[in-house]
């Protein structure tokens, strides 16, 4: 697959950010972003949008041997409703599996669905809610959804199964060990 590079620059997708070591977040990449995404050497993409990704992006993932875990199928019919608890729990299960790294969490614009999953991860990491909401708002911009913040606040971290051992101790993430109680 041929990639578009503008002046030799690597262009990240909209709302790209580093969540933790080998964990990234963003909105839907376009062809200009493919060289940047390629440099991340992703193993897995957690896809939270209800729409099918573009054929070019599907071909890119196939070319790069990136597994897509699609969790947008049960997206709420009303766009302002928060992501379901089942989707967040499944996304966190995938995210916490060290063999899935490096991985990218993404939805259309990398704001609300992605922000909700990352916010619940932060709560699991025992971040202060003010810090969790500051991060959510930084990516949501003027489009903050209070229902998403309420979902994060009320999210029951006891429902999350945190792995006790890594299949390969060399790949165990330092930040994952901080979650353990």
Strands (E), 53-144: 67-70, 103-106
Is residue 120 annotated as part of the catalytic site, yes or no? no
Catalytic residue among 23, 87, 107, 117: 107
**DSSP label at 6?**
B
- 27 phi-psi bin (left φ>0, alpha ψ -120 to 50, beta other): beta
Handedness of CA 50, 86, 145, 11 (dihedral sign): negative
- CA dist 27 and 112 (Å) reads 10
Active site residues: 107
């Amino acid at each position: 697959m041929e990639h578009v590079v503008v002046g030799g620059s690597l262009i990240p997708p909209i709302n790209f950010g580093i969540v933790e070591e080998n964990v990234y977040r963003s909105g839907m990449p376009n062809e200009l972003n493919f060289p940047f995404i390629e440099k991340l050497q992703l193993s897995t993409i957690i896809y939270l949008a209800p729409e099918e990704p573009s054929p070019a992006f599907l071909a890119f993932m196939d070319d790069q041997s990136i597994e897509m875990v699609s969790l947008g199928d049960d997206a709420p019919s009303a766009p302002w409703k928060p992501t379901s608890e089942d989707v967040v729990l499944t996304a966190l299960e995938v995210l916490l599996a060290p063999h899935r790294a490096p991985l990218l969490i993404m939805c259309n614009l990398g704001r609300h669905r992605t922000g909700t999953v990352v916010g619940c991860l932060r709560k699991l990491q025992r971040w202060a809610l003010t810090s969790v909401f500051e991060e959510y708002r930084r990516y949501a911009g003027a489009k903050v959804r209070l229902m998403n913040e309420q979902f994060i606040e009320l999210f029951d971290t006891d429902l999350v199964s945190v792995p006790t051992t890594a299949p390969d101790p060399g790949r165990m993430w330092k930040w994952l060990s901080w979650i353990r109680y």
